[in-house]
Amino acid sequence: MDATGRVPARIAVVGPTASGKSSVALAAAERVGDVDLISVDSMQVYRGMDIGTAKASAAEQARVPHHLIDLIDPTADFGVAEFQQAYGRAIVDIADRGRRAILVGGTGLYHRAVIDDLELPGEWPAVRARLTAEIASAGAPALHARLTELDPSAAAKMEPTNERRIVRALEVCEGSGRPFSSFGPGLDNYPPTEVTQIGLRWDRPALAHRIEQRVHQMMTDGLLAEVEALATSELSRTARQALGYKELLAHLDGEVSLDEATELIVLRTRQFAVRQERWFRRDPRVVWVDVEADPVAEVLPDVLSALR
């Protein structure tokens, strides 16, 4: 909000990766003319991670103002608390210029943090460093089992292989002395919001095909070279876990062939899309639009109607 307490009118275009969210949001912003786009993507905040995150091109960013892109170097960790703060600054800027905003992206936790202003726990770097060392030696499932004992509600909401989320949840449990899931109203609560949410929903086989096409196009566009350039720096734990980057880093380390890495990217992106769909589907406030072939043609009318 700005200094007068105003918050710009906002809508959100949500859904799984490769569903066409960004194309729809860009088309709507260009059609209306007084709208900025806010990326709600945990990896587009990193400079140099462009192809693998499907970041808006320089030309697209020139046509419509974009926010929360290229905020930080990939050598630094960047989490939901930092994102929430950056979002607050973007909202002030948009309100000061008398414009409206479309939120677009598929990072569910970041999305909830900003539209519901979630209470976020503090940070305990020493605890995190110890847990990071433990998970490297004992493995994610072992620490997930510990989290299940300390905070079964939080453990049930994350994959037992998701190292970053497991470490964060345990860090909060140990550092604060209270369950990670106890902060804020909880992700199972869906309070009233002024943000109109429009979701893109595809038939799952069709979306899987779009994901495969997108991954192969990213490889054609130079994703491997992008990862090679990034690998010359000490990437942060967060950046190293990004889809596409993690698998190609493993290839550069000689762990898998390029074909195997590409197949892994496709597989894991499809799995991620299913988790995204389930996340957003739990939110009863999302208005879903079924897409058959052309997301812009089929969803744009709903977005424009919400902006009127």
Looking at every residue in the chain, the average pLDDT score rounds to 94
Query: Is the distance from CB of 26 to CB of 37 less than 8 angstroms?
Result: yes
In order of 23, 77, 82, 232, 238, the CA distances from 168 in angstroms are: 33, 12, 14, 27, 11
Position 53 pLDDT exceeds 60: yes
- Residue 120: the pLDDT is 82
CA distance 91 to 117: 13
Domain boundaries in the chain?
10-119+190-203+276-307, 125-182, 205-274
Give the fold, CATH level 3, of 125-182. Answer: Histone, subunit A (1.10.20)
**Coil/strand/helix, residue 13:** strand
Give the fold, CATH level 3, of 10-119+190-203+276-307. Answer: Rossmann fold (3.40.50)
Per-residue pLDDT of 199-220, as tens digits, reads: 999 999 999 999 999 999 999 9
CA distance 33 to 65: 11
Per-residue pLDDT of 77-131, as tens digits, reads: 898 989 999 999 999 999 999 999 999 999 999 999 999 998 888 889 999 999 9
Return the CATH architecture of domain 205-274: Orthogonal Bundle (1.10)
Tracing tokens 């812009």 back to the chain, one arrives at 296
Q: Which of 27-41, 67-81, 137-151, 174-188 has the lowest mean pLDDT?
A: 174-188
CA distance 35 to 98: 9
Per-residue pLDDT of 206-262, as tens digits, reads: 999 999 999 999 999 999 999 999 999 999 989 999 999 999 999 999 999 999 999
Which distant-in-sequence residues (6+ apart) come within 8 Å of 2 by Cβ?
91, 92, 95, 96
How is residue 96 written in tokens?
A: 């000061």
How is residue 200 written in tokens?
A: 């893109």
> Helix (H) and strand (E) counts for the chain?
14, 6
